[in-house]
Amino acid sequence: MKYIDEYRDPDRARSILRKIGSVATRPWTVMEICGGQTHSIMRNGIDQLLPETVELVHGPGCPVCVTPLETIDRALAIAARPGVVLASFGDMLRVPGSCGDLFAARSRGADIRVVFSSLEALTIARENPGKEVVFFAVGFETTVPGNAMAVLQASREGIGNFSELVSQVMVPPAMRAILSSPDNRVQGFLAAGHVCTVTGYEEYEPVAREFQVPIVPTGFEPVDILAGILRLVEMLEEGAVGVSNEYARVVSREGNREAMKTVNEVFEIVDRPWRGIGVIPRSGLGLRERFAAFDAERKFDVGYVRTEESSLCRSGEVLRGMIKPDVCSAFGTECTPNAPLGAPMVSSEGACAAYYRYHRTEE
């Protein structure tokens, strides 16, 4: 299959691995910041095949994982109200809040529906004018255009029973937060190709210059990821700084300008808390004042939300690349996919779930 099979070719993968081994003359620590790439790395054993000189650490690139606890608690409070339909991506239903999750709330009678897009949630609102339909809008830049379009469409059609509980975050500020940490070990980044397809990679260039690091956008197949790692190692060995695009068949420097025009019409940049990390300035998106009527936080004032994280869960350290999931004492014991303590054990993009699924345990 064109653009698939050739990027899963074992011979190409082995050839790139040999090149990485020959290029890397000293230890390097690089981070893949996308949860989809993390799962591909684990599934294909890439972390185990790399030379000892190259260490991969896993970043906060799972949107479900970084959705703040207080936002999940707000979603639970909103879903519990009569006449409300909460529409959400499936992964969010199992993410623990302070007192349970959305899946349990649904079992108690809350009208919580799994959807695949915000436009599907808008259709539910259109077909159910007597109910308030709230879409749980989580994600990185990849999901923002669709969520913006749903709000625009609701505004144009006058669909007043639709709103979004927004927890949209952006990748470059997270990179800045990681690189600014006194405990940072990351020397270069693999950037997520699907995010860069929307935003382009121009906005990564100031990050690379400011922190003197290389950043390499790449894809999700084994050959894509290995090619991205090879380019990172080459740049690190050369002392090169900047962005090198290893996903040129999909990603351009300018990205999808029409999509970003829609995003900028509906959303504005705001400070946003990240679960396990804290508030990262100017790292999120919120609805502009013009679209305040579609902001679920304003429409459903749930008041003060008191949150409480598990004292055993170390997912914040995992999300910052400080530890691997299997270092956490709760991993695989008190914390499993069936009984998760933190979001990274739930999400299909979570690092803890990847380690558990692909049997990565500390030796």
pLDDT in tens, 239-289: 999 999 999 999 999 999 999 999 999 999 999 999 888 899 999 999 999
Using the predicted structure, report yes or no on whether residue 361 has a pLDDT greater than 90: no
The tokens of 326 are what?
A: 């299997």
pLDDT in tens, 140-192: 999 999 999 999 999 999 999 999 999 999 999 999 999 999 989 999 999 99
Using the predicted structure, report yes or no on whether residue 363 has a pLDDT greater than 50: no
Average pLDDT over residues 223-236: 98
Long-range pairs, 98-104, Cβ under 8 A, ≥24: 98/69, 98/73, 98/306, 98/307, 98/308, 99/73, 100/76, 101/72, 101/76, 102/72, 102/75, 102/76
DSSP state of 336: B
Q: Which residue has the higher pLDDT, 218 or 3?
A: 218
Nearest Cα to Cα of residue 59 among 190, 167, 169: 190
Please state, in angstroms and rounded to a whole number, the distance separating the CA atoms of residues 347 and 258.
Answer: 30
Q: Are 98 and 307 in contact (CB under 8 A)?
A: yes
The tokens of 330 are what?
A: 């709760």
Please state, in angstroms and rounded to a whole number, the distance separating the CA atoms of residues 318 and 175.
Answer: 15
CATH level 3 topology of 1-310:
Rossmann fold (3.40.50)
Number of other residues whose CB lies within 10 A of the CB of residue 338:
7
Q: Are 274 and 290 in contact (CB under 8 A)?
A: no
3-class secondary-structure state, position 65: helix
**Residue 121 φ then ψ, to 5°:** -65, -40
In the chain, where are the structural domains located? 1-310, 315-357
Please state, in angstroms and rounded to a whole number, the distance separating the CA atoms of residues 256 and 252.
Answer: 8
Nearest Cα to Cα of residue 247 among 228, 234, 232, 268: 228
Give the model's pLDDT for residue 130.
Answer: 97
15's CB contacts (< 8 A; 6+ apart) are none
pLDDT in tens, 276-311: 888 999 999 999 999 999 999 999 987 656 667 788
Q: How confident is the model at residue 51 (pLDDT cuts 50, 70, 90)?
A: very high
74 sits in which H/E element: helix 69-79
Nearest Cα to Cα of residue 166 among 156, 180, 151, 179: 151
Q: Ramachandran region of residue 242, left (φ > 0), alpha (ψ -120 to 50) or beta?
A: left
Strands 188-192 and 214-218: parallel
Q: What angle do CA 246, 248, 250 make, to 5 degrees?
A: 120
3-class secondary-structure state, position 204: helix
DSSP state of 343: G
Give the sign of the dihedral formed by CA 16, CA 193, CA 244, CA 46: negative
